[in-house]
Chain A
């Protein structure tokens, strides 16, 4: 009976770790590998998993022990990926028991995002300003680039949380950046419209998705690779549409 309970806990821990990593934007093959290592360290000797961006099926290879967990609300949080990775490393090396690991995983799940929102908004402003310089914008306009980048990020995140549709947020964020750049440059300030727009939409670029989509395809996880690729393409189209709308006026 105790053994059965322990097995149950191990499976739950494995699934929780998998779900956390998938939500926070880890590569699919890494999720599958981590789950396998964790399972094997807990004497579940024939673990099999099927990992997709929207759900994970895991079986320990024995009867009556197949579980499914769905992956909701994805948000990129590489800090949490690193923490889950750390838990799995400690668990497999025998440093931690399964109970300790499960507690830690639950606390990772409950924690807010690793970095506060205002910090991300500020850093997206800084990143936009730097990109503005990299795209040969004039130094005098750098403040506008920071404003465009910061606010397009804030708008897209807010709308995403509000409307539950990712692409609306990105579309309106890009729209804002383009409108802003358009007005700045048409007001007589000698701005560089192109550089300003590109730098402004830079914080919306789906970098994690693009990287992961290719990596997943290469490692043979075609379901996740194609779906992440589709998401990346849709995001880029949303950004492009937002910019194009302003340019066409």
Chain B
């Protein structure tokens, strides 16, 4: 688990490079990705074994941490959140859905496909929810020390 968390850090950093994130902030992209992956996996292992809910919570964590980084470095939040949610993309589920389509097993394909769709929907919802909440928090003048 710890090793995999480090690997998700590397993966998210790699995606930071692919999307041309500023070099000095790459580590923080990786950190956002690691947070998202760790939170969602931890949720799935210990709290509730549901891919949708854990992705939602993971994306929520990514968005919060991306918001904090964005405030600290005065950079658009998107820099961190995009690399952060990549480990949450339901690649395996989507792939399996595709494989079942090819095998003409449409019942299974539709089941997996809608699951993949809902997971990506919940990732998106997690991002948006956290952002709305962070905006409310910062509007209510709670002071978080900035550089």
1/0 per position for B1-13, CB-CB distance to A under 8 A?
0001001101101
A211-B124 contact, Cβ under 8 Å, with A30-B78, A130-B10: yes
A126 contacts chain B at the CB level, 8 A cutoff:
yes
Min C-beta distance of B70 to chain A, whole Å? 10
How far, in whole Å, are A29 and B7 apart by their CA atoms in the complex? 33
A203 contacts chain B at the CB level, 8 A cutoff:
yes
Contact present for A85 and B18 (CB under 8 Å): no
Min C-beta distance of A123 to chain B, whole Å? 4
Neighbouring B residues of A82 by C-beta, 8 Å: 22, 25, 75-76, 79
Neighbouring A residues of B124 by C-beta, 8 Å: 210-211, 214
Contact present for B128 and A119 (CB under 8 Å): no
Q: Name A248's contact: one of B92, B102, B127, B131 (CB within 8 Å).
A: B102
How far, in whole Å, are A211 and B37 apart by their CA atoms in the complex? 17
Residues 116-134 of B at the A interface (beta carbon under 8 Å): 120, 124-125, 127-128, 131
Count of CB-CB pairs between chains A and B under 8 Å: 147
How far, in whole Å, are A131 and B78 apart by their CA atoms in the complex? 22
Neighbouring B residues of A210 by C-beta, 8 Å: 85, 89, 120, 124
A215 contacts chain B at the CB level, 8 A cutoff:
yes
Q: Name B95's contact: one of A26, A89, A120, A243 (CB within 8 Å).
A: A243
Neighbouring B residues of A86 by C-beta, 8 Å: 74
Question: Which of A44-52, A95-103, A194-202 makes up part of the contact surface?
Answer: A194-202
Neighbouring A residues of B128 by C-beta, 8 Å: 214-215, 218
Q: For chain B, which range describes its interface: under 10, 10 to 19, 20 to 34, or 35 or more residues?
A: 35 or more
How far, in whole Å, are A218 and B125 apart by their CA atoms in the complex? 10
Contact present for B18 and A124 (CB under 8 Å): yes
Q: Name B92's contact: one of A113, A135, A211 (CB within 8 Å).
A: A135
Contact present for B19 and A211 (CB under 8 Å): no
Neighbouring B residues of A131 by C-beta, 8 Å: 11, 87, 91
Residues of chain A whose beta carbon lies under 8 Å from any beta carbon of chain B: 24-27, 30, 76-82, 85-86, 89, 113-115, 119-120, 123-124, 126-127, 130-131, 133-135, 153, 194, 197-198, 201-203, 205, 207-208, 210-212, 214-215, 218, 236, 240, 243-244, 247-248
Supply 12 further A-B pairs (C-beta < 8 A) apart from A30-B76, A127-B15, A247-B99: A78-B22, A79-B20, A81-B76, A82-B25, A85-B74, A124-B14, A130-B10, A208-B19, A208-B82, A211-B127, A214-B124, A218-B128
Residues of chain B whose beta carbon lies under 8 Å from any beta carbon of chain A: 4, 7-8, 10-11, 13-23, 25, 37, 74-76, 78-79, 81-83, 85-87, 89, 91-92, 94-96, 98-99, 101-102, 120, 124-125, 127-128, 131
7 A-B residue pairs with CB within 8 Å? A114-B22, A127-B15, A194-B99, A201-B91, A203-B15, A203-B18, A211-B127
